[in-house]
Structure 1
Amino acid sequence: MPDAKQPLPPIVSNEEWEKALNQLLIKEKEATRARDALSAERRRLPMVKVKNDYLFQGEEGSVSFLDLFGGRRQLIVYHFMFAPDWKAGCDGCSWLADAMTHPAHLHARDTSLVMVSRAPYEKLAQYKKRMGWSMPWYSSFESDFNYDFGVTTADGERHGASVFLRDGNDVYRTYFTGARGVEYLGSLWTYLDLTPYGRQETWEDSPEGWPQTKPYVWNRRHDEYEL
């Protein structure tokens, strides 16, 4: 039995509930359309070339920035707050990592998702094992990556998500969000909406020539994609 002192929503008839729900759904659909329009605007952002190369440490040893793409065109980097002298990773970043989508769905849209932190890789590997995560996680400890992209400052560590697009061996930064801008991330849709190519479906308002297919024809169970 709930505590009688616990606040509860008002109790109404089924008819009153359906009326209130339908009124709210109208506003939710408006918000969805506004979010779609915002994503369309994001796909039209200009981009800036990444002029420096960086070395990272990961499970496979030392890798380049291009290696983080895994041969794909788009890369999403989650800047996970983990300073070299910390004993554990940021709790808020850990919440977000717990919710990360299965990578196969992003890979099917030519997109990779990795985490990057400044702590040495040994610390990342230990914490990753403790948390039971499988996503790729790289250390930028021996490079200026965090400083160059504004997630390590004189005030300390910052979290956020950066999006990069690869054209051959040239890499461009297309988008960044931080603070509460990462709160809704978790599903494959929310990650793809950050990228310049978006969900790559024909209903989207994208620039001419953007890669697109019809909806519902590309997505599979995560073990059924052709690798």
Structure 2
Amino acid sequence: MTTSDENGKNAAQTAMRTPPVVSPEEWETARERLLVKEKEHSRARDALAAERRRMPWTAVKADYMFEGPAGKASLLDLFDGRRQLIIYRAFYEPGVFGWPEHACRGCSMVADQVAHVAHLNARDTTLVFASRAPQDDIARLKARMEWDIPWFTLTDQFDADFGVDEWHGTNVFFRDGDRVYRTYFINNRGDEQMGGTWNYLDITPLGRQELWEDSPEGYPQTPTYKWWNWHDSYAPDTPPDKKWVEVSDAGEAAFRAESAKKKS
């Protein structure tokens, strides 16, 4: 016996104007046709990232301070010794819907999608979240939601100065010794793409740091795939595993051979 809710769902599904059902051969033809456009999109995205790496920088002159698990921390401290820093302004504080049990629903979805930060760290990049909630509340929230992202408390005008006092947003910074520069900013729907390692690296001034990228002369670059590792196996100044390099080389060779075969 069906319920009224099930009848409603069935009616809605019946009303959907779905695409035609075709043979496997016709489906493959349609997929290959769309793949051409998808590759154009990927190349355009790569070109945009290359242009982003050539954007001018602006110096950060104020001494911004935050509160972290270990106490007070400067903007420079947030880099944690790395050259690149990504700060996402998450709304978790009095006045935000869900407080104090939850952070903003949208910001929480962003946090849920963040990949393991060890991969970013391996590319000299630190990711942190920042909110106005006290550290005790942030620690409790992180434990409840099983988030491992470093999360700091805003204590001054940082959010107002960097466009995230009334709305979420992602700021990118670069450290040259003790000098800090703002290199990029994205908000609104731009934050939708954040969470994955590649997308985060694509908005940094150094990019993914792989040989295929179009980067300015002198930028650090290493062979594609070779730096990848299990998130619990990265170690500073440790060369890539020899076996993994061999596997990667074999995979790249096979890919090039298949691509050449399709073109011939």
Query: After superposition, what is the alpha-carbon deviation per residue over 1:182-202, rounded to whole angstroms, capped at 9, x for unaligned?
Result: 111121111000000000011
**Counterpart selection for 2:137 from 117, 120, 123:** 123
Q: Identify the residue that residue 29 of structure 2 maps to in structure 1.
A: 19
**Counterpart selection for 1:173 from 150, 172, 182:** 182
Give the aligned length: 222
Q: Does the alignment pair 1:45 with 2:55?
A: yes
Give identity over the alignment, percent.
Answer: 56
Q: Is the contact between residue 83 and residue 117 of structure 1 (CA under 8 Å) also seen in structure 2?
A: yes
Q: Identify the residue that residue 57 of structure 1 maps to in structure 2.
A: 67
Give the match's secondary structure for 2:193: coil
Distance 1:5 1:145, change over 3 A: closer
Greater Rg over alpha carbons, structure: 2
Q: Does the alignment pair 1:132 with 2:141?
A: no
Q: Distance in 1 between matches of 2:124 and 2:213?
A: 17
Q: Does the alignment pair 1:67 with 2:81?
A: no
Give the match's secondary structure for 2:212: coil
Shift of 1:9: 3.3
Q: Distance in 1 between matches of 2:230 and 2:36?
A: 32
Q: Distance in 2 between matches of 1:63 and 1:114?
A: 12
Q: Identify the residue that residue 124 of structure 2 maps to in structure 1.
A: 110
Query: After superposition, what is the alpha-carbon deviation per residue over 1:33-75, rounded to whole angstroms, capped at 9, x for unaligned?
Result: 0000000000000011111111111111211111110100000
Q: Identify the residue that residue 157 of structure 2 maps to in structure 1.
A: 144
Give the match's secondary structure for 2:129: strand
Q: Which runs of 5+ in 1 are unaligned?
A: none
Give the match's secondary structure for 1:33: helix
Give the match's secondary structure for 1:114: strand
Q: Is the contact between residue 85 and residue 119 of structure 1 (CA under 8 Å) also seen in structure 2?
A: no
**Counterpart selection for 1:198 from 187, 203, 207:** 207
Higher helix proportion, which one? 2
TM-score by length of 1: 0.93
Q: Distance in 1 between matches of 2:192 and 2:153?
A: 23
Q: Does the alignment pair 1:77 with 2:97?
A: no
Q: Distance in 2 between matches of 1:18 and 1:101?
A: 32
Q: Is the contact between residue 84 and residue 120 of structure 1 (CA under 8 Å) also seen in structure 2?
A: no
Q: Identify the residue that residue 92 of structure 1 maps to in structure 2.
A: 106
Letter in 2 for 1:143: D
Which has the bigger relative contact order, CA under 8 A and spacing at least 6? 1
Distance 1:206 1:68, change over 3 A: same
Q: Does the alignment pair 1:164 with 2:173?
A: yes
Shift of 1:4: 6.4
Q: Is the contact between residue 163 and residue 169 of structure 2 (CA under 8 Å) also seen in structure 1?
A: no
Letter in 2 for 1:219: W
Q: Is the contact between residue 118 and residue 146 of structure 1 (CA under 8 Å) also seen in structure 2?
A: no
Shift of 1:5: 4.5
Aligned Cα RMSD in Å? 1.6
- Range 167-176 or range 58-67, more displaced: 58-67
Shift of 1:84: 3.6
Give the match's secondary structure for 2:88: strand
Distance 1:11 1:4, change over 3 A: farther
TM-score by length of 2: 0.80
Give the match's secondary structure for 1:183: helix
Letter in 1 for 2:226: V
Q: Which runs of 5+ in 2 are unaligned?
A: 1-8, 237-264
